[in-house]
Structure 1
Amino acid sequence: MSDNLLDMLVFVRVAEAGSLSAAARELRLSLTVVSRKLTRLEARLGVRLFNRTTRSLTLTEEGARFHARCVRILAEIDDAETEVTSGRDSALGLLRVTSTFAFGCRWLAPLLQEFQARHPGLHVHLDTEDGVANIVERGYDLAIRFGALADSSLIARQLAPNRRVICASPSYLDRYGRPETLEDLAGHAAITFGDPPNTHWIFADGRSVNVKGVLSTNNGELAHRWALGGAGLILKSIWDVRDDIKSDQLEVVLPDVLLPAAPIHAVFPHNRLTAAKVRLCVEFLAARLKDIAGN
């Protein structure tokens, strides 16, 4: 690898690790070498890539743009080497994945750990955020997204149908009664979440109910905790509450009333279509998620 590419690799690792020392440990280089390469890179480019204080290291605006380009360049190099050395049936190199925080923590992280264990030559980097990341600009190989997808130049494959359910804790239902009709929902405490919180629940047959409650949040995990604590009804994807339902911590209400599904999709750029690490990962996730979020 040329000095320029090595400087680029060091820059990317520092940006993602958040410190020179962490990047140095990851790259097995001395702190002095890492610092010298960053200084040389900034001097060659004529811009400051990081804002440095004694306690933090953050990308400048120019640094953020350069980071996105560097990630894409290094990924292309990695894919080229993988294609030449391993053919189409081995997952090698770096796989960069993005997903929502809750799904990433609960399901995707252990699944990616299992996938990596099957492919020892693979390195996996998982980012979690609840916004919709631009996977091309930020150099991701794969994104996991939910529900209807906007038209784009990206490729999408459905991994699981992911039905949704309304549920509550048995303690709440024992205290306030179990809804028998959609109209009954309006008389119950609903835990709503989103930005803004969703108070208008729409059903597969076109009917809808305006729900109300005293607890709302922008965070689905907090809403989930409130439901487990007996605070009210919640509308959730089956992947999020499946284990709670099995363990009787939550109970599905109106089980015969269908809600529109929010399918789980794998989304990736066209230039990742033939990459073995992406194709094999998508196939693996599709097989495993059938048990978690299938019908």
Structure 2
Amino acid sequence: MIDDLGELRTFDRIVFGGSLSAAARELGVSLAVVSKRLSALEARLQVRLLNRSTRRASLTDDGLLFHEHCRRVLDAVEAAESALEERHSAVAGVLKLTAPNGFGRRHIVPAVRSFQLEHPGVRVHLSLRDELVDLVGEGVELAIRYGALDDSRLMARQLAPNRRILCASPEYLRRRGVPTCIEDLRGHDCIASGNPPVSQWLFASPDGVLAMSIEASTVCDDGEAAQLMALQGAGIARKSIWDVADDLEAGHLVEVLPHFALATSPLSAVHGSGKQVAPRVRVFLDHLLAHLRSSVAWRYATLPGTDVHPA
């Protein structure tokens, strides 16, 4: 049983440097110490790992096989040590992140500002786009997204619950009446938004997902503009609770058909996989989660209801 990492590191440095003396210089120990560690390792394994002369050392067949596995062990140990070092290191560097337009303006921008006040060594490059961004191709460290992860190169962490709702202004509902069932929507002005605009609204039903095709009175490819239209009395809009919670709280918008759950997906934080997450990403995510939990939107997002995740 091998329980001495010093012997493994010494063996690896001999292979890397090509000789016992080169390993001794790199490790800052005497040649005798290097020779003793190598001999102890070979005795433990009961094989000869190296053919060695005065100036050179070359791997035997057994040594070649063992070094491949030895390197994996040392890589794992170094990764663990690096993770601890990064955990306690200063949070600094450039944080490149992206988020949807409306959510980004309302929640990411203030979170970024308060985060930078706590960590002035972090520079933030923020891109607000509703379309999916190729994180790997564009070198983005973090994306805040609605919906499922469809890229095997990435990792996702559920950040917050989410509800989509139908909403309209009090003035519109006084003028046109309050819908009491899904079929009532056919007699109302509906605002279709998205890129492309979503003209089929999905509801939960005892038999699964119910698709309701709407004849939109207004079609808009921008969610922010659709919300402004709803605020101005143009009709009923389908929005994420994270976009409209403040307007609901202020009474500027009213939830329509609150007992009929719309299909939705959680809010997730997405980042690259296969390497240690940078401290600035990890610390920002913790900061953002605390920021979201303190918001009005979190209270509305966590109201009892049914989340339906479309296929």
TM-score by length of structure 2 reads: 0.65
1:207 maps to 210
Contact 1:95 1:125 in 2 (8 A): yes
Gaps of 5+ in 2: 1-81, 303-311
Which string of whole-angstrom CA distances, capped at 9 and with x for unpartnered residues, describes residues 100-146 of structure 1?
22222221111111111111221111112222111112111101111
Q: What corresponds to 2:183 in structure 1? A: 183
Moved more, 229-238 or 135-144: 135-144
Question: Alignment partner of 1:185: what SS?
Answer: helix
Give 1:267's aligned amino acid.
V
Partner of 2:230: 227
Equivalences for 1:251-290 in 2 at 5 Å?
Answer: 251-271=254-274, 273-290=276-293
SS of the residue 2:149 aligns to: coil
1:70-128, CA deviations, whole angstroms, 9 ceiling, x for partnerless residues?
xxxxxxxxxxxxx79x7314421111111122222221111111111111221111112
Q: Secondary structure of 1:94's partner? A: strand
Task: Give 2:86's aligned residue.
Answer: 87
Deviation string for 1:164-196 (max 9, x for gaps)?
Answer: 111100000000000011111111110001222
| SS across alignment from 1:252 | strand
* Residues in 1 aligned to 2:277 and 2:227: alpha-carbon distance in whole angstroms: 38
Percent identity reads: 42
In the aligned structure 2, how far is the partner of 1:287 from the partner of 1:262? 20
Kept after mapping to 2: 8 A contact 1:188/1:212: no
Matched, 1:248 2:251: yes
Q: Structure 1 regions of 5+ residues with no counterpart?
A: 1-82
Q: Which moved more, 1:141-150 or 1:217-226?
A: 141-150
Paired amino acid for 1:193: S
Matching of residue 139 in structure 1 with residue 114 in structure 2: no
TM-score by length of 1: 0.68
Structure 2 distance, partners of 1:93, 1:156, is: 22
1:92-241 map, 5 Å:
92-205=92-205, 206-241=209-244
Change in CA separation of 1:181 and 1:169 when aligned onto 2, cut-off 3 Å:
same
- Measure, in 2, the Cα distance between the counterparts of 1:280 and 1:272: 16
Q: Distance in 1 between matches of 2:183 and 2:281?
A: 46
Shift of the alpha carbon at 1:278? 0.9
Q: Superposition RMSD on alpha carbons, in Å?
A: 2.1
Is the alpha carbon distance of 1:121 and 1:175 closer, same or farther for their aligned partners in structure 2, counting shifts above 3 Å?
A: same
